[in-house]
A and B are shown apart, each in its own frame.
Chain A
Amino acid sequence: MPKKRVKKGKSSGRQSKKRRSILRYLLNLFFKLSILGVVFCAVILIYVDGQVRQKFEGKRWELPAKVYARPLEMYVGQTLSQDHLRKELSQLGYRVVSSATGPGTVEFATSRVRLFTRGFAFPDEIEPSRKLLIDFSEGRVQRILDENTQQSLALIRLEPVLVGGIYPRSNEDRHLIRLEESPPMLKEALLVVEDRDFYDHHGVSPKGILRAAIVNARAGRFVQGGSTLTQQLIKNFYLTSDRTLSRKLLELPMALAMDFRYEKDEILEAYLNEVYLGQSGVRAVHGFGLASQFYFGRPISELELHQVALLVALVKGPSFYDPRRNPERAKARRDLVINLLADHDYVSATERDQAIAEPLGVRESRRMRSGSFPAYLDLVKRQLLKEYRDEDLSTEGLLIFTSLDPIAQAHADASISGVLAELEQRHGERAGNLQGAMVVTDPRTGEVLAVVGGKDTRFQGFNRALDARRAVGSLIKPAIFLAAIEQGYTLASVLQDTPVELRMPNGDIWQPQNFDRQSHGDVLLITALARSFNQSTVHLGLEIGLPSVIDVLKRLGVERNIQALPSLMLGAQEMSPMEMAEVYQTLAADGFRMPLRSIRMVTTADGEELSRYPFQLRQQVAPEPIYLIRHAMQEVGRSGTARSAYQTLPSALNFAGKTGTSNDQRDSWFAGFTGSRLAVVWVGRDDNRPLPFTSTGGALPVWTQFMHQERSESLSPRRPDAIAMQWIDEASGWLSDPMCEGSRQLPFIQGTEPRFSVDCGQFAPVEEPPASESDSGGWFRNLFR
């Protein structure tokens, strides 16, 4: 239009003057517009540059906290079976091979294992990757040899199993990798498939766009995009879900700005960590590092060519090419990637053929990890939330080192689900929907090793181990008997197991019964506990008084308020398995209360310590009374209510424990410990209905199964100096002698031994005193001479 006017204007002078002014006006306008445009572009560039820098140099990603299990320590002389090692390595995703040549591989032979470890940067020390030859014999580690240096090592640590994370609200999960960590061919494959000119273009590639246009035109549909990796990264970084025009328009300048500002390798590394590669439940799998774990269960650096090719194939559409759902489609695209690599001479024809012959080899499970530890993670998170903000936990990439023992956890899971399934089958309808919970600790350190929150051990739900408060039944009895021993009772004190009536605060009369509905008359204190007689316990409890029982419970570790009701004697008090574990931990640790710990240390993503949870303890009960009560709790297994445990456990395995069945058989409990493991088990129903079995039928088999699988160490408490063994007459509680009928040996705190003795002629002058306990009844023997 303006051109026409200009032509017209040539016909007259006036018009030419006018023409000149229009021209000037237009030039002026153009000039102003240009300035405006430049300013506008500059503003956009500054804005874009700012955006790019902010994202690139600030915190690029919300990183979930990583929760690690305890690392498996291996040392000479350690009790460790090849089987346990195999389980641990399987959780870590080690490959069992015929010749261990790289990190993450292991070779098993009859009595030795060649193990190529991955190494791990622990907060205290870097554990290097090493090629080890480990000799086993009789279930013990005999020697650890570093094959590269030919040196024997006293102690090594495997890397800890990553057991979970604390995720941000965006539900993005990623495992950051550095470009150097990426396996061979990852970079090449990515570039050859997605952006061949990556190292030559300036963020956008006209050549690429042109090529894509030609390909698309030929095919008659959209088959190839012309976006560079930089553009794809921009899209993922800034232009997430809403695809508005303005955002689309920003993509170009942003790509240019990013390319201008940053090194190609930096951009590539960001791309490797950002790209979306799959979906694990609600959680989006981002980056090649996590995708490698998600699809193959091993670190990215250990991937082989065909696996690298599959991950690169997925970039185009993780859902469309999902190797689990659409394996053929995925294989076709994977092979295309391999062929492209061969076409561009990155791999040889043989390598190509080998890689194409490989199956996809993807882990079946869509769950991120081989193990699943929801109940334990719940415990960890609750402890963390006392000190950290939720936001920091889910975005700062903190490292949380816990004491979770994945092998013990697997055994606990298997014991609960195995026994409950069997019980439901055996009792059918009457069992109803059984539930169970379990807490496992190391009695020597107070560390929590495993937590089971319910029958479905893999899914997070109601965490019964922490939140189900149920009547503890006879699990309370060791506290009552301990209070009695502190007041001067002995294991040989004679208690009355006779009917008892109590008037309750509401006026009701309460008549506790024994389990067998009989009264047993005079019984020794040890027998009353071992066989869990209720009536004698109530008599004893009334004698020593509720306040002293409550005092002992508090010292043992009960923190909640305990109501001083006579029904406390029979365990009407409701407590969670975790609370009972605290109490039994104190009994197991010689009277030292050790608050149970699940976290060892929290560090930043770089391994800088933020908080630690050190070993702490307080002596709450003297070792002598503890020794006696533990002796009685061992009798529970040897001759008492838990003796069926020895149908499964070897008789050489000493343990101390207590059965517990609440009123009307609504709860089945067992709490007990060996030398190296403490476990509290609860079995019951969420609707609190009676069970068709007692403690011995429900919780005890779970406990026994677990201890059997753990092959835990025998309990062998050292006898305090002030404890003396004496022969006692079972029926009267008087002193006796090994040669008298009805005698048994019991420990006493010195000075509390019975003063009277039965007589079976042992005081008559005899040729030789019995060899074993020559001082048995010592001064008494003299007394009667």
Chain B
Amino acid sequence: MNIGRVLVAVMGGLLLTGCATSNPFSNIPVEDRSTQRSSQTTQTAPVTEPASGVVVTPMDPGLGVRPIDVEPIVREQRTSLPPADEVWQPSAPSTPQTPSQSGSVDNAAVVALLDSAQQETAQGDLRAAQTRLERAQRIAPREPEVYLQLADIKRQLGQFMDAEQVALRGVDVASGQSNQLRRLWALISQIRTEAGDLAGANDAREEAGRH
């Protein structure tokens, strides 16, 4: 699929070479080999499927356009690989601060607050539960369980828009914790159902099924 797109882009590029001067990226050197090889490598190139549910923004077609007669870029090889701090990455992925992969909360203070909030919810005192959950959120702002419960309170208060957004924020902080993601999407599905958004509810249910 990608290769197909490359081909389209390159064909487009060929057509556009005449007016390339107006293209802000026209001075980018071109690797001509791609056009020659892409056809024969079609079968070998593993197509990178974008992860489902993610909207992949199509590239600006101008980006791939290069005049055909420019030399490939050749670089020296490094004698040694870049040192660690140059390979600096802003995030160390899959090292969540809270080892709550299983969905269990490890902070005793937050556990206590969540428990009290659940009792208050059971007794119908939703506002008290909300106060307590916001307290928990300040202590553990990256704990998905807090957002899950807070969203559920807002759902019960009939604040569907807020409820959905809080749950989506939960999805945001829960990344990588499939158990929590499944519960959050299931809640979003419920919220959307109650709010009358049946199509959205269906999407959320499917999303829940993926985790």
Interface set of A (CB-CB < 8 Å, partner B): 73, 75-78, 123-124, 154-155, 442, 444-445, 447, 486-490, 493-496, 522, 539, 543, 590, 592, 600-601, 609, 612, 614-619, 622-624, 630-631, 634, 638, 651, 654, 656, 715-722, 725, 729, 732-734, 736, 738-745, 749-752, 754-762, 770, 772, 778-779, 782-785
Q: For the complex, what is the distance from the CA of A772 to the CA of B78, rounded to whole Å?
A: 16
Contact call B175/A445, Cβ cutoff below 8 A: no
A759:B74 contact, CB within 8 angstroms = yes
Note all chain B residues with C-beta closer than 8 A to A740.
Answer: 75-78
Q: Which of B92-100, B187-195, B198-206 contacts A (4 or more CB under 8 A)?
A: B92-100
What's the Cα separation between A754 and B141 when bound, in Å?
A: 36
With both chains docked as a complex, state the minimum distance between the C-beta of B123 and any C-beta of chain A, in angstroms.
14
Q: Are B54 and A614 in contact (CB under 8 A)?
A: no
* Chain A residues with CB under 8 A of B139: 73, 75, 78, 155
Q: Which residue of A lies closest to B76 (CB)?
A: A741
Q: How far is the CB of A295 from chain B (nearest CB, A)?
A: 35
B residues near A782, Cβ cutoff 8 Å: 41, 44-46
* Contact present for B50 and A750 (CB under 8 Å): yes
Judged by a CB distance under 8 angstroms, whether B57 is at the interface is yes
Tell me, rounded to whole Å, the shortest Cβ–Cβ distance linking B192 to chain A. 14
Partner of A543, one of B24, B89, B113: B24
Q: Is the CB of A522 within 8 A of B27?
A: yes
- A–B complex contacts, Cβ < 8 Å, 20 sampled: A154-B109, A486-B57, A493-B63, A522-B27, A539-B24, A592-B165, A634-B90, A718-B91, A718-B175, A722-B50, A738-B81, A750-B51, A751-B56, A752-B59, A754-B63, A758-B75, A760-B76, A762-B77, A778-B48, A782-B41
A716 with B91: CB separation less than 8 A: yes
Take A494-B28, A720-B175 as given contacts and tell me if A759 and B72 are in contact as well, using a CB distance cutoff of 8 Å: yes
Please determine whether A721 and B165 come into contact, CB atoms closer than 8 angstroms: no
Contact A622 B55 (CB under 8 A): yes
By the criterion CB–CB under 8 Å, are B41 and A75 in contact? no
Nearest-neighbour CB distance to chain A for B189, whole angstroms, equals: 17
Distance of B129 from chain A, by nearest CB (Å) = 10
Please report the C-alpha to C-alpha distance between residue A634 and residue B59 in the assembled complex, in whole angstroms: 24
Residues of A within 8 A of B57 (CB): 486-488, 749, 751-752
Find out whether the CB atom of B6 lies under 8 angstroms from the CB atom of A755.
yes
Complex: chain B residue closest to A152, CB-CB: B108
Cβ-based interface call for B122 (8 A)? no
Do A154 and B108 touch (CB < 8 A)? yes
For B56, the chain A residues whose CB sits under 8 A away are: 722, 749-752
Is the Cβ of A444 less than 8 Å from the Cβ of B76?
Answer: no
Give B84 Cβ to nearest chain A Cβ, in Å: 9
Known: A488-B59, A758-B72. 8 other contacts (CB 8 A): A487-B60, A543-B24, A592-B168, A624-B54, A732-B28, A739-B78, A750-B56, A783-B41
Alpha-carbon distance A752/B76, docked complex (angstroms): 26
* Shortest beta-carbon distance from A677 to chain B in Å: 12
A736–B127 CB distance below 8 A: no
Task: List chain A residues, Cβ under 8 A from B107.
Answer: 75-77
Q: Mark B164-180, 1 if CB is under 8 A from A, else 0.
A: 01101100110110000
- Is B162 an interface position by the 8 A CB rule? yes
B134 interfacial by beta-carbon distance below 8 Å: yes
Minimum C-beta distance from A782 to chain B (A): 6
Please give the distance in Å from A152's CB to the nearest CB on chain B.
9
**Contact indicator A718/B138 (Cβ below 8 Å):** no
Contact B112 A783 (CB under 8 A): no
Which chain B residues lie closer than 8 Å to A75 at the CB level? 107-109, 139
Q: Which residues of chain A are within 8 angstroms of B132 by Cβ–Cβ distance?
A: 124
Closest-CB distance, B143 to chain A (whole angstroms) = 11
Measured CA separation A717–B51 after assembly (Å): 19
Cα-based distance from A630 to B176 in the complex (angstroms): 20
Among B87, B112, B128, B173, which residue has its beta carbon within 8 angstroms of that of A772? B87
Asked whether, in the complex, the Cβ of B90 is within 8 Å of the Cβ of A751, the reply is no
Interface of A is mostly: loop
Contact partners of B91 in chain A: CB under 8 A: 716-719
How far is A93 from B76 in the complex, measured between Cα atoms in Å?
Answer: 66
A486→B75 CA distance, assembly (Å)? 31
Q: Is the CB of B73 within 8 A of A445?
A: no
Q: A716 CA to B89 CA in the complex, in Å?
A: 10
Q: State A739–B82 Cα separation when bound (angstroms).
A: 8
Q: Does the CB pair A783–B176 fall under 8 Å?
A: no
Interface residues of B in 138-157 (CB under 8 A from A): 138-139, 141-142, 150
Tell yes or no: B130 within 8 A of A by CB.
yes
Which chain A residue shows the least CB distance to B177? A718
**Interchain residue pairs A-B with the least CB separation, the first 3:** A75-B109, A444-B141, A155-B109
Q: Are the CB atoms of B165 and A715 closer together than 8 Å?
A: no
B64 within 8 A of A: yes
Q: Which residues of B contact A722 (CB under 8 A)?
A: 50-51, 54, 56
Q: Report if A742-B75 is in contact (Cβ < 8 Å); known contacts: A488-B58, A751-B50.
A: yes
Cα A641 to Cα B41 with chains together (Å): 44
Residue with the greatest number of chain B CB neighbours at <10 A, chosen from A154, A445, A715: A154
**B58 and A718 contacting across the interface, CB-CB below 8 Å:** no
Nearest B residue to A495, CB-CB: B24
B128 closest partner in A (C-beta) = A124
Q: How far is the CB of A141 from chain B (nearest CB, A)?
A: 10
Residues B78 and A741 in contact, CB atoms below 8 Å apart: yes
Q: Interface centre among A155, A444, A445, A495, by most B CB within 10 Å?
A: A155
Q: Which of B34, B56, B91, B108 has the most CB of A within 10 A?
A: B91
CA distance A155 to B28 in the complex (A): 60
Q: In the complex where A624-B54, A761-B77, A782-B46 touch, is A716 in contact with B109 (Cβ < 8 A)?
A: no
Mask: chain B, 1-40; 1 = CB below 8 Å from A; 0 = not:
0100010010000000000000011011111011001100
Q: Chain B residues near A719 (CB, 8 Å)? A: 91, 93, 175
Structural contact, A759 and B175, CB atoms closer than 8 A: no
In the complex the two chains form, what is the Cα distance from A123 to B25 in whole Å? 61
Interface residues of B in 101-133 (CB under 8 A from A): 107-109, 111-113, 127-128, 130-132
Give Cα distance in the complex from A719 to B94, angstroms.
Answer: 9
Q: How far is the CB of A560 from chain B (nearest CB, A)?
A: 24
Q: Is the CB of B34 within 8 A of A739?
A: no
Q: CA separation between A744 and B134, bound complex, in Å?
A: 41
Residues of chain B within 8 A of A733, CB atoms compared? 28
Closest to B54 in A: A722
| Contact of A783 with B37 in the complex, beta carbons under 8 Å | yes
Docked CA distance A772–B173 (Å): 26
Are B48 and A750 within 8 A (Cβ)?
Answer: yes
Does A770 contact B59, Cβ atoms closer than 8 Å? no
What distance in Å separates the Cβ of A139 from its nearest Cβ neighbour in chain B?
Answer: 16
Complex interface: chain A residues within 8 A of B25 (CB): 493-494
A156 to chain B, nearest CB (A): 9
Given A592-B169, A718-B96, A722-B51: A734 touches B82 (CB 8 Å cut-off): no
Q: A778 to B169, Cβ gap below 8 A?
A: no
A76 engages B109 (CB within 8 Å) = yes
User: Which residue of chain B lies nearest to A746 when distances are taken between CB atoms in the complex?
Assistant: B89
Q: Is the CB of A617 within 8 A of B169?
A: yes
Give Cα A167 to B141, complex, Å.
Answer: 35
- Tell me, rounded to whole Å, the shortest Cβ–Cβ distance linking A731 to chain B: 8
| CB-defined contacts of A651 to chain B, threshold 8 Å | 85
Q: Which residue of B lies closest to A591 (CB)?
A: B172
- Once bound together, how far apart are the Cα atoms of A495 and B27, in whole Å? 10
Q: Which residues of A contact B75 (CB under 8 A)?
A: 729, 736, 740-743, 758-760
B74 and A758 within 8 A (CB): yes
Tell whether, in the assembled complex, residue A729 and residue B73 are in contact, meaning their CB atoms are under 8 Å apart.
yes
Q: Judging by beta carbons under 8 Å apart, are B73 and A759 in contact?
A: yes
Question: B175 contacts A154, CB within 8 Å?
Answer: no
